Structure 1
């Protein structure tokens, strides 16, 4: 459980960093967000799969 929590906190920090970078880029924020969401879901699937 603790490792999972650390991972989520790291993802939040990454999101904050990305938000700052987005201000300096012309990338579509929605695209970046969707990519991030996809990878989070994959991580969660891996985590929940390994705990069973």
Structure 2
């Protein structure tokens, strides 16, 4: 699990992947949980994004 800050472009970088998130999260810290073929991103307890490879 990674704790990452959403940058001014509304993105996070996880390993070699860049993921876009909602603009309202700019400046916030989110948790990213990489799995074998997907990435889940959480703001607190709420899942805000799920990306597949």
Check whether TM > 0.5. Answer: no
- Aligning the two structures, in what range does the TM-score lie when normalised by the shorter sequence? under 0.3
Q: Give the TM-score normalised by structure 1.
A: 0.19
Q: Which has a greater percent of strand?
A: 2
CA radius of gyration, larger in = 1
If asked which structure has higher relative contact order (CA below 8 Å, sep 6+), I would say 1
